[in-house]
Amino acid sequence: MTPEDSNPSASHEPHLRPDPPRPAVDPSEARADRHLRFEPAGAESTFRDGHSVWDEPDILPGRSDDLIEQDWLCSACGYNLRGLFVGQRCPECGRVEFYRPPPAGVDSYRTWLQRRIERTRPETCWLVACGAALVGGLWAVIASLIGTQHAGIGGWSTFILAAVYAPAIEETMKIAAGAYVVELRPHWFKRQEQIHLATVGAAVVFAIIENLIYLYVFVQSPTVKLALWRWLVCTAIHVGCTYLAARGLVEVWRQALTEFRRPRITRALRYLVPAIILHGAYNGSMIAAEGIFGPFL
Ligand SMILES: [Zn+2]
């Protein structure tokens, strides 16, 4: 026993003593050691599963039937379960909600998010939104160039490529950077306008680059009518569809910030899928019109 161990003072409890010098690391474990040293920083900036027992599903026996005393929406239908007991069926759709709000004061996703919201400055959020707009726009360009440009094919393959694959890839990628922030760093947005800037901004960036590629690379000496059509109609389609898809992200983000609950990003699909269908319907109708009436731009 060292003299340090025999000191009975409360201020000499083991966890209050200075850290002992680090033992030399076995060379074969140097890589793992480096990784472990960075791990607390990563865990602090991103909330991971297993951080808190209070964020686990409510499936273990012996948990009390507490009253839900805050806004807590049903995962299936969005009904506010406030005032009901946990485990009670949703009066609207009958679903039993698997998660309950964490008790006040315990370490949970709620406290993690509240800390991050307090620390995030408003100007950071606008910077993130601008960055997401640029990144999302470029991602969409790269994805559409890689995924949907296959010269030489024709007929139904072209139709399916333009009316199904291209809209799915473009609509998903335009909001992808915004969706990343909403799902993993919801505190980086403080206002819904920032989500619109991140997503609709990406649509504008994408439309500008796509128009330039069409008018200066794909089409040799385009007509004024085609140029006007691309800058007005195609840009409007991109912006309009992305605005629709962004509504889903706004809903997910708002729920996460009002309930201090992990964002459920799949709920955004309710708006992303109609945006893809709308975009596909436009592309499909343009190809069909061109097939019937011949090139008209
Ligand atoms: Zn419900």
Whole-number percent of the chain with pLDDT over 90: 55
Give the distance (Å) from ligand 1 centre to CA of residue 96.
Answer: 8
Question: Rounded to two decimals, what is the model's pTM?
Answer: 0.79
Least confident range from 59-63, 131-135, 239-243, 276-280: namely 59-63
pLDDT at res. 209: 95
Between 46 and 66, where is the model more confident? Answer: 66
- 149 pLDDT more than 70: no
Distance CA 270, CA 252 (A): 11
Give the chain's mean pLDDT.
87
Q: Give DSSP secondary structure letters for 64-99.
A: ---B--S--B-TTT--B-TTSBTTPBPTTT-PBPS-
As beta bridge partners, residue 89 has 96
- Which of the residue ranges 33-42, 94-103, 118-127, 156-165 would you say has the lowest mean pLDDT? 33-42
pLDDT at 147 over 70: no
- Ion ligand 1 — residues with CB < 5 Å: 74, 76-77, 79, 90, 92-93, 95
Q: For residue 269, report the distance from its CA to the centre of ligand 1, in Å.
A: 18
Domain ranges of the chain: 120-293
Dihedral sign from CA coordinates of 5, 8, 10, 11 = negative
Residues 6+ apart with CB under 8 A from 184: 46
